[in-house]
Structure 1
Amino acid sequence: MLLTQAMDEFLLYLQVERNYSQNTLISYEYDLKTLQDFLIRHNRSLQLEDLIPSTVRRYIQEMVLKYELKPRTMARKISCLKSLSRYCLKERFITVDFMAGIELPKHDNKLPVYMTLSELQMLFRFLEQDQGRFALRNHLMFKLLPSTGMRRQELVDLTWQQVNLDNMTVKVFGKGKKERLLPLHPMVHKLFIDYRGSLLAYQIHPEEPVFRNKYGEKLNGRGLHSIFKDTIEKSGLPPKRFSLHHMRHTFATLLLQENKENVDIRTLQELLGHESLATTSIYTHVDFEQKRKAIHSFHLDK
């Protein structure tokens, strides 16, 4: 079997049986293609059964030394190849694990970047006074993200049938199409009502997208990113420092810092839609870092 055929079968499996998102599938396809391109450049066999650990190690070496890929990026590529190898073994496409003995590179677990409460309030003040054509839409989007912790893709995929303004909830579909129900903050609930009232009748049909671009079409992730960067800059915050994913970090961090008596780590895990509690635990590290800074600023030696 050719590697290309195995890759196609693997990606189809992830899409149909595992319900992976389109963004994840695109990332996996890209990572797999970099291995295929490496084999072609170096005149290596494209037969799946000819792929062995030493060849994969050469590929990793080239990615790191020639293309200077960072450990975190390399870890993602290796994880992708390990998943492919497990799938091929399970389907009996191969009898030998071509990822045997290959470990993920160690990398620093950096604390997530997030907005402080004052920075978030600075963004909110701009949204509240903005008079632009899409001010109401942007106001809702950029208060919805840091008040629910939903992912960028979850926001752009929202349809009106997922929004229940009577119960003040929004249903989102996360990774693997896993469903979770998120409560709406009262300030966002009011914005939803105002925003819905500004739309045409057909635009609030249950199957229609909640957020549209300037052409009236469904807003996509790239468009949302562009709007966010423009909004951040106009609010007076540095656009290069914050990304849309940092809004998710902001939600989790501030929720723990400002409301820890009502929020435990498992509640946060459910709100964020994390499969593993270990993924959510990074935010307890953030909270501890704040404690460390507080202690270190406590000058007792004067």
Structure 2
Amino acid sequence: MLLKFAFQDFLDDRRFKNTTKSNIKNYQILLGEFINYCIDNEVMNVEDITYAHVRQYLLHCQEKGNKAGTINTKLLRIRAFLNYMVECEVIKKNPAKKIKPQKDDIKIDIFTDEQIRQMLSFYRRIKQREKSYVAYRDYMMIVSILGTGIRRGEIINLQWSDVDFINQTISVFGKNRTKETIPITDKLAKELSAYQTFCKQFWGVLSDFVFVKRDNTQLTENAVMLVFKYLGERMNFKDVRVSAHTFRHTFCHRLAMSGMSAFAIQKLMRHKNISVTMRYVAMWGNELREQNDKYNPLNTLEI
């Protein structure tokens, strides 16, 4: 089967399975690079792809400067494509199955309290000076992620009908396309209520969506990315990337440092697998600190 047709068939299958638009785009870019690499190297058919082709492509990516995490993501996309080809009986075995992921030095960015204060103060100054909707919206986006850990896509799709001010919850469609309910604090509920009042006064007609563009239409992924890119440029932090996901990580970090149980953190972060949650707890949980304080060898030494 010709690679270009197999690639299109795979994307159509993912659309049929209701894969998110962002994941489809991810496949188009990351898997598309591999398809183009194969064709450029005269591998025209799926049946001609070998273990060596996949490994050589990943080596090529490494030489271009791709980090271990990026290479591992590309490997996952290639495996998914070739697994689909096995399901369709185009090939008998997945040649990428035996390629092991690279060891990745895990560094998860989080914001300090001072950095968070700087960002919120930045938007407060603009809002007070210019009475700008955009500044208030961006301020509330940050506050909402810090208060709930919701994802970028969930911010984009959040509607006022999803916000329950009485029971203090918000409902989101999570990563697995299932509706999930998240508790919000009294503080966040009051912030959202004040923001809703401002939106009604500013727009006249309240949009269905909590966060909208300058023309009162739903935000796009690109628009949200530009918000955080602009903020990152203004803040110019040297040690951390300003993104929606960094705010989500910061939410998780504060939960782990507070001593919250891994089970509770998993529920609030909505991780499908608790092993993901445990990775955060292992890095940030205060249990390690407490155990070290209790059993450290220096405790019994006169120094």
Shift of 1:212: 1.1
Deviations 1:100-140 (A, max 9, x none): 42221122223x11123344344444555541402432332
Range moving further from structure 2, 186-195 or 239-248: 239-248
Structure richer in helix, relative to its length: 2
Aligned position for 1:277: 274
Aligned position for 2:255: 255
Letter in 2 for 1:57: R
Gaps of 5+ in 1: none
Aligned position for 1:86: 83
Measured in 1, the distance between the counterparts of 2:245 and 2:143 equals 14
Contact 2:256 2:285 in 1 (8 A): no
Aligned position for 2:69: 72
Contact 2:257 2:285 in 1 (8 A): no
Shift of 1:59: 1.6
Shift of 1:146: 0.7
Aligned position for 1:60: 58
- What SS does the corresponding residue of 2:99 show, helix, strand or coil? coil
Matches within 5 A, 1:155-194: 155-194=155-194
Aligned position for 1:145: 145
Letter in 2 for 1:82: R
- More relative contact order, 1 or 2 (CA 8 Å, 6+ apart): 1
Measured in 1, the distance between the counterparts of 2:66 and 2:120 equals 37
Aligned position for 2:113: 117
Measured in 2, the distance between the counterparts of 1:218 and 1:245 equals 20
Measured in 2, the distance between the counterparts of 1:36 and 1:43 equals 11
Aligned structure 1 segments of 4 or more residues deviating by more than 6 angstroms: 298-301
Shift of 1:203: 2.5
Contact 2:172 2:181 in 1 (8 A): yes
Give the aligned CA root-mean-square deviation in angstroms.
2.7
Going from structure 1 to structure 2, the CA distance change for 1:38 and 1:217 (only over 3 Å counts) comes to same
Measured in 1, the distance between the counterparts of 2:216 and 2:120 equals 25
Contact 1:230 1:239 in 2 (8 A): no
Letter in 2 for 1:212: V
Measured in 1, the distance between the counterparts of 2:100 and 2:252 equals 30
Letter in 2 for 1:93: V
Measured in 1, the distance between the counterparts of 2:233 and 2:41 equals 45
Letter in 1 for 2:30: D
Q: Does residue 1:245 correspond to 2:245, yes or no?
A: yes
- What SS does the corresponding residue of 2:65 show, helix, strand or coil? coil
Shift of 1:231: 4.4
Going from structure 1 to structure 2, the CA distance change for 1:64 and 1:232 (only over 3 Å counts) comes to closer
Q: TM-score, normalising length from structure 1?
A: 0.85
- What SS does the corresponding residue of 1:4 show, helix, strand or coil? helix
Measured in 2, the distance between the counterparts of 1:51 and 1:269 equals 39
Instruction: Give % identity.
Output: 23
Match of 1:103 among 100, 114, 120: 100
Measured in 2, the distance between the counterparts of 1:152 and 1:273 equals 14
Measured in 1, the distance between the counterparts of 2:97 and 2:138 equals 49
Letter in 2 for 1:84: F
Q: Does residue 1:10 correspond to 2:10, yes or no?
A: yes
Shift of 1:286: 2.6
Q: TM-score, normalising length from structure 2?
A: 0.84
Measured in 1, the distance between the counterparts of 2:271 and 2:27 equals 20
